[in-house]
C-alpha cells in the first residue's frame, strides 16, 4: 500500500535491493523470500519476537534522486504481487514525467505530492474502516491473514505475545485470537511453528500454574493439548478465550453465534491497538453481567456505570455502590452484597433534576417516579453528562413499547441481536384469511383465568374452613410484607435488601406469591412493556398443528393430575394456551417435557398472561438452554453440581461416581425445580427462593439433600438403592405452615414403604442449605457453567457423530473409523461455510433441532471442495464438472443440499463398488438429472428422449409426488364414475377411506428403496455418450497407464458407435412406416422426428454418417484431454490448416493420442476428418453439419458394460482398490483452516505451509 513519504537514512540495512531505476528502488527485507543466510534468520526471528513486522512490511519501494544519500519510503507491501503492482504503476506513470525535471528537489517534491494525492483518494473509500481498526492492529490483522491464509471474513479480535510449549521447549511468538480460530506463529532461527485450532474443536480451557508450566493456559481438543504461557496479562487473555469458545459453543447449539458475529455495532471512538470486535466482546460481557444482576431483558444494552451513593430512607444512611444506566433502566447495586439493590424503569420516571451541592452531599441527583417515590443519588463524578444521557434515553422511551398493532417480537427479537438473543421472522400471517368470517377468539379478558390464578378461583368455590394457627401464621406473613412495602416501597422500584431475602426465605404468602414472582424474576417489566402481546400471540398460535402442539396435548393431563385445578377443562385450557403461545413465540425451544409441570404451578398463583411472561423469564433468562431439544442447560448444571459435590462432599462424590448416579438422580430436580419430586407445598417454597436468588438456591438445596443422606448413601451398593433413599427423603419434605388442604403427592404414593420415614420440615432444609452451602456465588457458578458447557456440547457432538455413523454403517462399505473421520471433515466443511459464507444461507440452514443426520448439510460449492480432496476420480480441471453432476444425482429432494448419508453413498460407490457399480455410477452421471441441459450442445433432443413414456416408467428419477398425484387422480376418476350409482353414502365414505388407505400403502411401498438393476437404466444418446467419453479421458490423464487406457477407451468408443449405428438402422428399418403415423414418443429408442437420409446408395449413406459420427466422437475425445500434458503417441497428419485450426492452435499441438490408427475402427475412411487433419472434400461448414449429434442414435448400459469388459486395461482400472485413508489424512492436515489462493510468492507460500 502507498504510505506517507518518510526519510530513510540507511537504505540497505537489513534490506536487499531487487529492482532499481534512476528514481526508485524495490527492496525485500532479509529473512523473507529466498536466501538471507544467518542475517536473514536473525532478522526473521527479531521480526517475530519483537513484532517489528507489524510495522515493517517485507517489501518496500524507496525514492532516490541522483547521488543523494537521503531515501524516501513511498510504498510497502505484504506480498510480492502487491509491491510489484505499485512498481509497475510507477514505471508506467511517473518515469517518463520525472525525466523531464532538471532539479532533483523538484523531482522529490513532485513524487511526494503525487503519492500523497493517491493516498488521499484511497482514504476517501477506506476512511470508515481505517477509523475502526487503525494503526498497528490493522497491520497485525493483515499479517494474521497472510500467515494462516485466512479470508477477509475472518475477524481478528486481539493478539498477544506469549510462549507456546512444543515438547519441553517454549517457542516465543504471537497468539492471534480470531472469531473462529486460535492461531499461533513463531519463527526462531529458521524453525517455524504454525498452529491453528478451531474454537468449535476445543473441549477444555483451563488456566493453571504448575512447576512445568508456570501460570499457563491449557487448550484441550479431542486429540491433543496445547500450553501457552508468559503472557503480559494472562487474566485478560484467558477471559477473551472463554468468550470466544463460548460463542463457538453457541454456534454448535444454535444459530445465535453466527447472527451475533454478523451484527457488530460501529464504535463511536477508536482506541489505539484495540479492535472494534474486542471492544464489542467486552461490551457484551458487561451487558450479560448487568442483565443477570438485575434480571433484565435480553435486548437491554448497558450505556455506562459510575460510582455513587444512594440515600436509603429506611436505614437513614448513604449506601456506597454503583449506578448503571441503560436504554430503559437506571439501576443501583451496593458495593456490599445484599445491602441494597434498586431498579428504576425509565417508563416510571417523571422528574430527573440536579439538587444543590453541599459539602455533606456533593453532586446530588434526584429522580422521582410516577408512584411518588424519590431516589437521591450523590457523589456523582460527571453529573451533567449523566443527566444529559438519562434525558436522551427518556426522550426515546415511549409510554408503551409495544401495542397490538405492532409486529410480534418473537423470542426477544431486537434490531441488534445479541449472542444470547435468537432472531426469528417478523409477524406470522394471521390465522383467518381475508374475507373469512371472524372466528371466535381463543382468549379474552373475561375468562376467569385471565383475571386471577387458579388457586384463588378454587378457593372461592371451596367452603371456608378455619385453619386455626396456620391461618394466623399466614396472616402474620402478609402483615410482615405489608410493613415491608410501606418501608421499602412496592412494585418494580422497591428497595431490595437483606430484609427482603429474610422474608422470602420465611415463605411468601399465597396471596402475594404471583405478584412477587413477577417482580423478582423481571417478568413484570416485560409484561408492562408488551400489553396485549399474549392475547395476540394466543390467537395466532392456537389452531396450528405442529410437533410441539402434539406433545403439549399428550402432556396436558399429566400436569399435576393430583391437583383439583387441573382435573377440569378450565385449568387444562389455560395450560394449553400458555404452552402453545410460548412454543409459537420461541420455535427454538418449542415445548419440552417438564415445562408443563412448571407452567401448571405458575398458573395456580398467576393469571394466564403473568404465567406466560414468567415462563419466558424462566426459559430465556433464568434457566438458559434448559428446555431446548437436548436440555443442554440442565446437563451443564448437572456437571456443575457434580463438581460442587466433589468440592463440598468429596467422600460421597467418589462413592456416587462408582455408582454413577449423581446426574441421573438430580436431573429432574433441576428441570422441574423440585416440583416433580417433592410435595407441592414444600416445592413451591423453593420456587419462591429461586425467583429471588436464582439457580444457586437449587444447587444449595441439592447439596443439602445429599449431605442429609450421606451416611445412607455411603452404605449403598447400587444405583437403585441410592435413588430409593433420596426419593423417600424428598417425598417426606413437608411444609407445616401451609393453609391449603394437603395435595397427595403421586411420587410419594408410588414409593412409600412399610414404615413411614420421618418428616423433614422444608424450612429446616432451606436453612441448612444456607448455613452449609450459602457461600456459593452466582459468578462462580457461571464460571463453572462455561467449563461444563464445553464438555457437554462436545459430548453431544460426539453422540451425534456416533448416531449418524451407526445409522449408515450397514449401508456403506466404509469402516466405522473411516465413517467417523469422513463425518468430521463433512461437519467441518459445513461449519466453515457458516463462518465465512457471507452470501450463503449456511448459517440459516444450521438447525441443531433437526435429526442428527440432517443437522449438517452442504451445498454444491462445499461438496465440490470435498470431492476434489477425497474423490478417487480426478479429472483435472474438469473435476468441478464431475462433482456438480454427482451432487445433482445425490440431491434427491432437489433442495440444493445433501446430508452426510447422501455424501457417503456417493463416495462409497466410487471406492468400494465393483466394476459394474462404478460404471453404473459413471453412466448415471451422464443422464438427467446429473447431466444438466446446459452441459449438452443439444438439450432439446435429450429432454425429448427422456420424456419417452416407457423410459419414464422405468426411470428411477420419477418423483414420489408425481406418482401420488397420478394415483390420486386415477382414484378420483374411479370414485366419480361410481357416484352415479345408487349406493348409499356410508358405503361411498367407507370406499373413499379405503381408497386413500390404499394410496397411502402404495405410496409407502413406492418409497421403499428398490434394488436397482442395470436393466432399469435408460438408454444413453449420442450427446451423453460424448460427455461420458470426455469424462473417461480426463480420469485417465493422471494414471500411470494412461496410454493403454487411452487406447482401450478409443477402441471401446468406436465399437459402441458401431453398435449404436446398427441399433438405429435396425430400428429405423423395422418401424419407419409406423413412426410416420404414430406420436413421436411411441418408442424409447426413436427420435421425436426422423430426417430422410441423403440421396444415394443406402450402404454409402450409412457408412458416411457413421464415419462422420465417429469423427465427432474422436474430436470430442481429443478435446476432452487438451488440457492434459500427454506425450505424443502419433504425429497428426500435416495437411493444410482449416478454419478451426486457426481458431485454436492448442488443438493441433495438444492432439496426441486420438488418431485413425489408434481407434482401430474399420469403418473409418481415409478421408475422415480428425483433429489436426484436413480431410478435404467438404468445407468447414459441411463438416460441422455432418458432425451434428444424431438424435436417433442410442445405446444401453449393458452394451457399455460388455464393451468395457473386452479391454483388460479398463477392467484393471475399475477393479483396482482405492484407499481413502491417505486422502483423508491430507485433507485433515489442511482442515484446520480453509486456505485461500494467496497473492504471496511461491517461496512465501512454502514458508507458510504448516
Q: Report, as an integer, the average pLDDT of 492-498.
A: 94
The model's confidence at residue 561, banded by pLDDT at 50, 70 and 90, is: confident
Please return the burial class of 397, using the count of CB atoms within 10 Å of its CB with bins 0-12, 13-18 and 19+.
middle
Q: Which residue has the higher pLDDT, 273 or 31?
A: 31
Res 506 pLDDT > 70: yes
The x, y and z cell numbers of residue 708, run together, are 442429609
Half-sphere exposure of 385 (CA within 13 A, CB side): 7
Half-sphere exposure of 429 (CA within 13 A, CB side): 5
CB atoms within 10 A of CB 163: 20
Q: Report, as an integer, the average pLDDT of 909-928.
A: 89
Q: Which of 547-561, 578-592, 668-682, 1118-1132 is predicted with the least confidence, judged by mean pLDDT?
A: 1118-1132
* Eight-class DSSP state of 620: I
* Eight-class DSSP state of 661: -
d(CA 909, CA 813): 9
Please return the burial class of 384, using the count of CB atoms within 10 Å of its CB with bins 0-12, 13-18 and 19+.
exposed
Q: State the pairing for strand pair 733-734/760-761.
A: parallel
The 3-class SS string of 662-683 reads: HHHHHHHHHHCCCCCCCCHHHH
CB 634 within 8 A of CB 667: yes
Per-residue model confidence (pLDDT) at position 837: 61
Per-residue model confidence (pLDDT) at position 3: 84
Q: Report, as an integer, the average pLDDT of 619-632.
A: 88
Per-residue model confidence (pLDDT) at position 883: 92
Per-residue model confidence (pLDDT) at position 893: 84
List C-alpha distances in Å: 1080 to 936, 938, 948, 1077, 1088: 21, 17, 9, 9, 4
Per-residue pLDDT tens digits for 149-193: 888 888 889 999 888 988 777 888 899 999 889 999 988 767 888
The 3-class SS string of 945-1004 reads: HHCCHHHHHHCCCCCHHHHHHHHHHHHHHHHHHHCCCCCCHHHHHHHHHHHHHHHHHHHH
How far is Cα of residue 1217 from the mean position of the Cα atoms in its chain?
A: 36
Per-residue pLDDT tens digits for 1106-1141: 445 455 555 555 554 444 333 333 333 334 443 433
Give the DSSP letter string of 535-560: HHHHHHHTT---HHHHHHHHHGGGSS
Would you call 575 helix, strand, or coil by DSSP? helix
Q: Which residues pair with 496 in a beta bridge?
A: 341
The model's confidence at residue 48, banded by pLDDT at 50, 70 and 90, is: low
Within 8 A by CB and 6+ apart from 1089, the residues are: 1080
The model's confidence at residue 15, banded by pLDDT at 50, 70 and 90, is: confident
Per-residue pLDDT tens digits for 676-733: 999 999 999 999 999 999 999 999 999 999 999 999 999 998 888 898 999 999 999 9
d(CA 559, CA 601): 9
CB 411 within 8 A of CB 588: yes
- The closest alpha carbon to 806, from 797, 821, 819, belongs to 819
d(CA 194, CA 33): 18
d(CA 528, CA 99): 77
Alpha helices, DSSP H, located in 1121-1162:
1139-1143, 1146-1150, 1156-1159
Per-residue pLDDT tens digits for 446-480: 888 998 899 888 776 555 455 577 788 889 999 99
Stretch (H or E) spanning 708: helix 696-708
Phi, psi values for residue 1007, rounded to 5°: -75, -15
Would you call 207 helix, strand, or coil by DSSP? strand
* Eight-class DSSP state of 618: I
Q: Which of 267-281, 646-660, 759-773, 1064-1078 is predicted with the least confidence, judged by mean pLDDT?
A: 1064-1078
Half-sphere exposure of 906 (CA within 13 A, CB side): 29
d(CA 627, CA 597): 12
CB 1182 within 8 A of CB 1111: no
d(CA 388, CA 369): 18
Give me the sign of the Cα torsion angle 80, 83, 85, 87: negative
Per-residue model confidence (pLDDT) at position 1153: 36
d(CA 457, CA 470): 21
d(CA 174, CA 76): 22
CB atoms within 10 A of CB 555: 18
CB atoms within 10 A of CB 781: 16
Q: Report, as an integer, the average pLDDT of 972-986.
A: 43
Per-residue model confidence (pLDDT) at position 57: 73
Place of cell 460501529: 266
Per-residue model confidence (pLDDT) at position 321: 95
Residue % of the chain over a pLDDT of 90: 33
The x, y and z cell numbers of residue 144, run together, are 494474521
The mean pLDDT value of the chain amounts to: 76
Per-residue model confidence (pLDDT) at position 844: 57
Per-residue pLDDT tens digits for 1179-1233: 444 433 444 567 788 899 999 999 999 999 999 988 888 888 888 888 877 654 4
* Eight-class DSSP state of 360: S
The x, y and z cell numbers of residue 291, run together, are 442483565
CB 344 within 8 A of CB 493: yes
Please return the burial class of 472, using the count of CB atoms within 10 Å of its CB with bins 0-12, 13-18 and 19+.
exposed
Would you call 171 helix, strand, or coil by DSSP? strand
* Eight-class DSSP state of 496: B
Place of cell 462462580: 780
Res 782 pLDDT > 70: yes
CB atoms within 10 A of CB 1097: 9
Q: Report, as an integer, the average pLDDT of 357-362.
A: 86
CB 620 within 8 A of CB 298: yes
Q: Which residue has the higher pLDDT, 31 or 1162?
A: 31
Per-residue model confidence (pLDDT) at position 125: 58
Q: Report, as an integer, the average pLDDT of 262-268.
A: 40
List C-alpha distances in Å: 92 to 85, 87, 108, 109, 537: 11, 9, 18, 19, 68
Q: Which residue has the higher pLDDT, 845 or 788?
A: 788
* Eight-class DSSP state of 305: E
Within 8 A by CB and 6+ apart from 1182, the residues are: none
Res 1172 pLDDT > 50: no
- The closest alpha carbon to 921, from 805, 832, 1014, 1004, belongs to 1014
CB 618 within 8 A of CB 606: no
Residue % of the chain over a pLDDT of 70: 70
CB atoms within 10 A of CB 916: 14
Give the DSSP letter string of 813-852: SS-HHHHHHHHHHHHHHHHHHHHH-SSSSHHHH--TTS-H
The model's confidence at residue 1245, banded by pLDDT at 50, 70 and 90, is: very low
Q: Report, as an integer, the average pLDDT of 106-126.
A: 80
Tell me how far apart the terminal alpha carbons of the chain are, to the nearest angstrom. Answer: 27
The model's confidence at residue 846, banded by pLDDT at 50, 70 and 90, is: low
The x, y and z cell numbers of residue 146, run together, are 497472510
Per-residue model confidence (pLDDT) at position 1171: 34
Per-residue model confidence (pLDDT) at position 38: 58
Would you call 136 helix, strand, or coil by DSSP? helix
Per-residue model confidence (pLDDT) at position 124: 63
Per-residue model confidence (pLDDT) at position 117: 84
Res 774 pLDDT > 60: yes
Would you call 279 helix, strand, or coil by DSSP? helix
* Cis, peptide link before residue 929, omega less than 30° from 0: yes
Would you call 458 helix, strand, or coil by DSSP? helix
* Eight-class DSSP state of 76: E
Would you call 429 helix, strand, or coil by DSSP? coil
Per-residue model confidence (pLDDT) at position 1009: 60
Res 1154 pLDDT > 80: no
The model's confidence at residue 409, banded by pLDDT at 50, 70 and 90, is: low
Contacts 24+ apart (CB under 8 A), 689-692: 689/504, 689/505, 689/766, 690/622, 691/516, 691/517, 691/520, 691/521, 691/622, 692/500, 692/501, 692/504, 692/520
Phi, psi values for residue 237, rounded to 5°: -65, -45
Per-residue model confidence (pLDDT) at position 932: 75
Q: What is the CA radius of gyration of the chain?
A: 39
Q: Which of 62-76, 256-270, 546-560 is predicted with the least confidence, judged by mean pLDDT?
A: 256-270
How far is Cα of residue 194 from the mean position of the Cα atoms in its chain?
A: 26
Amino acid at each position: 500500500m502507498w504510505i506517507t513519504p518518510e526519510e530513510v537514512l540507511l537504505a540497505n540495512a537489513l534490506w536487499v535491493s531487487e529492482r532499481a531505476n534512476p528514481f526508485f528502488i524495490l527492496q525485500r527485507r532479509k529473512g523473507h523470500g529466498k536466501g538471507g543466510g544467518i542475517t536473514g534468520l536473525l532478522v526473521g526471528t527479531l521480526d517475530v519476537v519483537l513484532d517489528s513486522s507489524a510495522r515493517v512490511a517485507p517489501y518496500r519501494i524507496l525514492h532516490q534522486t541522483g547521488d543523494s544519500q537521503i531515501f524516501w519510503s513511498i510504498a510497502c507491501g505484504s506480498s510480492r504481487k502487491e509491491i510489484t503492482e505499485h512498481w509497475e504503476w510507477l514505471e508506467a506513470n511517473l518515469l517518463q514525467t520525472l525525466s523531464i525535471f532538471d532539479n532533483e528537489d523538484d523531482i522529490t517534491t513532485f513524487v511526494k505530492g503525487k503519492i500523497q494525492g493517491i493516498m488521499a483518494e484511497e482514504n476517501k473509500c477506506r476512511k470508515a474502516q481505517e477509523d475502526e481498526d487503525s494503526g498497528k492492529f490493522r497491520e497485525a490483522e493483515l499479517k494474521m491473514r497472510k500467515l494462516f491464509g485466512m479470508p477477509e471474513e475472518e475477524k481478528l479480535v486481539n493478539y498477544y505475545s506469549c510462549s507456546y510449549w512444543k515438547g519441553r521447549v517454549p517457542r516465543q511468538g504471537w497468539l492471534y485470537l480470531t472469531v473462529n480460530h486460535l492461531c499461533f506463529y513463531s519463527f526462531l532461527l529458521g524453525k517455524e511453528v504454525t498452529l491453528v485450532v478451531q474454537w468449535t474443536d476445543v473441549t477444555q480451557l483451563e488456566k493453571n500454574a504448575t512447576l512445568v508450566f508456570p501460570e499457563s493456559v491449557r487448550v484441550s481438543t479431542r486429540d491433543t493439548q496445547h500450553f501457552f504461557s508468559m503472557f503480559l496479562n494472562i487474566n485478560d487473555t484467558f477471559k477473551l478465550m472463554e468468550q470466544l469458545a463460548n460463542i463457538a459453543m453457541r454456534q454448535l447449539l444454535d444459530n445465535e453465534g453466527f447472527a451475533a458475529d454478523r451484527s457488530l455495532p460501529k464504535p463511536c471512538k477508536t482506541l489505539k491497538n484495540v479492535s472494534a470486535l474486542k471492544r464489542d466482546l467486552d461490551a457484551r460481557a458487561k451487558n450479560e453481567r448487568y442483565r443477570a444482576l438485575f434480571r433484565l431483558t435480553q435486548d437491554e444494552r448497558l450505556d455506562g456505570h459510575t460510582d455513587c451513593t444512594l440515600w436509603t430512607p429506611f436505614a437513614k444512611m448513604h449506601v456506597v455502590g454503583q449506578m448503571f444506566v441503560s436504554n430503559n433502566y437506571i439501576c443501583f447495586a451496593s458495593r456490599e452484597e445484599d445491602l441494597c439493590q434498586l431498579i428504576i424503569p425509565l417508563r416510571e420516571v417523571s422528574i430527573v433534576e440536579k439538587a444543590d451541592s453541599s459539602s455533606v452531599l456533593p453532586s446530588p441527583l434526584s429522580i422521582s417516579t410516577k408512584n411518588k417515590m424519590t431516589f437521591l443519588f450523590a457523589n456523582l463524578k460527571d453529573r451533567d453528562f449523566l443527566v444529559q444521557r438519562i434525558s436522551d434515553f427518556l426522550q426515546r422511551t415511549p409510554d408503551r413499547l409495544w401495542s397490538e398493532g405492532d409486529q410480534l417480537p418473537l423470542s426477544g427479537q431486537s434490531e441488534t441481536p445479541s449472542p444470547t438473543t435468537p432472531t426469528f421472522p417478523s409477524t406470522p400471517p394471521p390465522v383467518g384469511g381475508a374475507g373469512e368470517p371472524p372466528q371466535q377468539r381463543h382468549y379474552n379478558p373475561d375468562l376467569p383465568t385471565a383475571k386471577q390464578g387458579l388457586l384463588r378461583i378454587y378457593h372461592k368455590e371451596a367452603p371456608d374452613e378455619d385453619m386455626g394457627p396456620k391461618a394466623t401464621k399466614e396472616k402474620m406473613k402478609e402483615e410482615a410484607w405489608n410493613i415491608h412495602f410501606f418501608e421499602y416501597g412496592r412494585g418494580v422500584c422497591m428497595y431490595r435488601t437483606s430484609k427482603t431475602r429474610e422474608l422470602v426465605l420465611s415463605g411468601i404468602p399465597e396471596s402475594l406469591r404471583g405478584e412477587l414472582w413477577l417482580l423478582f424474576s423481571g417478568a413484570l417489566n416485560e409484561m408492562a412493556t408488551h400489553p396485549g402481546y399474549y392475547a395476540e400471540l394466543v390467537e395466532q398460535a392456537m389452531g396450528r398443528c405442529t410437533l410441539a402442539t402434539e406433545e403439549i396435548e399428550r402432556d396436558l393431563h399429566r400436569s399435576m393430575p393430583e391437583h383439583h385445578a387441573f382435573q377440569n377443562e378450565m385449568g387444562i385450557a389455560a395450560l394449553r394456551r400458555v404452552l402453545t403461545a410460548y412454543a409459537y413465540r420461541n420455535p427454538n425451544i418449542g415445548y419440552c417435557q417438564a415445562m408443563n409441570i412448571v407452567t401448571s404451578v405458575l398458573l395456580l398463583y398467576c393469571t394466564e398472561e403473568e404465567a406466560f411472561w414468567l415462563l419466558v423469564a424462566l426459559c430465556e433468562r433464568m434457566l438458559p438452554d434448559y428446555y431446548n431439544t437436548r436440555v443442554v442447560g440442565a446437563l451443564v448444571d448437572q456437571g456443575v453440581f457434580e463438581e460442587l459435590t466433589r468440592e463440598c462432599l468429596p467422600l460421597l462424590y467418589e462413592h456416587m461416581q462408582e455408582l454413577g448416579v449423581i446426574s441421573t438422580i438430580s436431573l429432574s430436580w433441576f428441570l422441574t425445580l423440585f416440583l416433580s419430586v417433592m410435595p407441592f407445598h414444600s416445592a413451591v417454597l423453593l420456587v419462591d427462593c429461586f425467583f429471588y436468588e436464582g439457580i444457586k438456591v437449587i444447587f444449595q438445596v441439592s447439596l443439602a439433600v445429599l449431605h442429609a443422606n450421606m451416611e445412607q448413601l455411603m452404605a449403598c451398593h447400587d444405583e437403585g438403592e441410592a435413588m430409593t433413599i433420596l426419593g423417600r427423603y424428598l417425598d417426606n419434605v413437608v411444609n407445616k405452615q401451609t393453609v391449603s388442604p394437603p395435595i397427595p403427592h403421586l411420587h410419594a404414593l408410588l414409593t412409600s414403604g412399610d414404615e413411614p420415614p420421618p418428616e423433614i420440615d422444608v424450612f429446616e432444609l432451606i436453612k441448612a442449605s444456607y448455613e452449609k452451602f450459602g457461600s456459593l456465588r452466582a459468578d462462580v457458578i457461571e464460571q463453572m457453567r462455561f467449563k461444563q458447557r464445553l464438555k457437554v456440547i462436545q459430548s453431544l457432538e460426539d453422540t451425534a457423530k456416533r448416531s449418524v455413523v451407526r445409522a449408515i454403517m450397514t449401508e456403506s462399505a466404509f469402516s466405522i473409523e473411516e465413517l467417523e473421520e469422513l463425518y468430521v471433515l463433512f461437519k467441518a466443511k459445513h461449519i466453515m461455510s457458516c463462518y465465512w459464507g457471507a452470501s450463503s444461507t449456511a448459517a440459516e440452514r444450521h438447525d441443531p433441532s433437526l435429526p442428527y443426520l440432517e443437522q449438517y448439510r452442504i451445498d454444491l460449492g462445499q461438496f465440490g471442495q470435498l470431492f476434489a480432496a477425497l474423490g478417487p476420480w480426478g479429472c483435472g480441471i474438469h473435476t468441478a464438472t464431475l462433482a456438480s453432476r454427482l451432487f445433482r444425482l445425490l440431491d434427491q429432494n432437489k433442495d440444493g443440499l445433501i446430508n452426510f448419508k447422501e455424501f457417503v453413498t456417493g463416495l462409497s460407490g466410487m471406492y468400494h463398488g465393483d466394476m459394474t457399480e462404478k460404471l453404473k455410477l459413471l453412466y448415471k452421471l451422464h443422464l438427467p438429472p446429473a447431466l444438466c441441459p446446459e452441459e449438452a450442445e443439444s438439450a432439446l433432443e435429450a429432454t425429448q428422449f427422456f420424456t419417452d413414456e416407457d423410459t419414464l416408467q422405468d426411470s428411477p428419477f420419477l418423483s414420489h409426488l408425481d406418482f401420488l398425484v397420478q394415483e390420486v387422480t386415477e382414484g378420483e376418476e374411479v370414485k366419480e364414475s361410481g357416484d352415479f350409482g345408487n349406493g348409499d353414502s356410508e358405503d361411498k365414505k367407507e370406499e373413499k377411506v379405503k381408497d386413500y388407505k390404499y394410496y397411502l400403502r402404495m405410496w409407502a411401498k413406492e418409497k421403499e428403496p428398490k434394488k436397482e438393476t442395470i436393466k432399469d437404466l435408460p438408454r444413453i444418446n449420442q450427446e451423453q455418450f460424448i460427455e461420458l467419453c470426455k469424462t473417461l479421458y480426463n480420469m485417465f490423464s493422471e494414471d500411470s497407464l494412461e496410454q493403454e487406457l487411452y487406447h482401450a477407451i478409443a477402441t471401446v468408443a468406436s465399437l459402441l458407435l458401431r453398435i449404436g449405428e446398427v441399433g438405429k438402422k435396425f430400428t429405423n428399418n423395422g418401424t419407419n412406416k409406423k413412426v410416420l403415423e404414430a406420436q413421436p414418443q411411441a418408442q424409447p429408442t426413436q427420435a421425436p422426428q426422423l430426417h430422410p437420409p441423403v440421396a444415394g446408395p443406402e450402404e454409402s449413406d450409412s457408412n458416411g454418417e457413421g464415419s462422420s459420427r465417429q469423427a465427432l466422437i474422436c474430436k470430442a475425445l481429443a478435446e476432452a484431454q487438451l488440457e492434459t500434458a500427454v506425450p505424443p503417441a502419433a504425429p497428426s497428419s500435416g495437411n493444410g490448416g482449416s478454419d478451426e485450426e486457426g481458431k485454436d492452435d492448442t488443438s493441433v499441438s495438444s492432439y496426441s493420442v486420438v488418431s485413425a490408427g489408434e481407434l482401430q475402427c474399420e469403418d473409418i475412411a481415409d478421408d475422415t476428418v480428425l483433429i489436426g487433419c484436413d480431410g478435404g472434400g467438404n468445407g468447414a461448414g459441411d463438416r460441422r453439419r455432418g458432425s451434428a449429434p444424431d438424435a436417433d442414435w442410442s445405446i444401453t448400459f449393458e452394451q457399455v458394460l460388455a464393451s468395457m469388459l473386452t479391454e483388460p486395461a479398463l477392467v484393471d482400472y475399475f477393479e483396482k482398490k482405492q484407499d481413502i485413508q491417505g486422502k483423508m489424512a491430507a485433507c485433515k492436515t489442511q482442515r484446520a483452516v480453509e486456505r485461500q489462493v494467496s497473492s504471496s510468492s511461491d517461496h512465501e507460500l512454502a514458508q507458510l505451509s504448516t
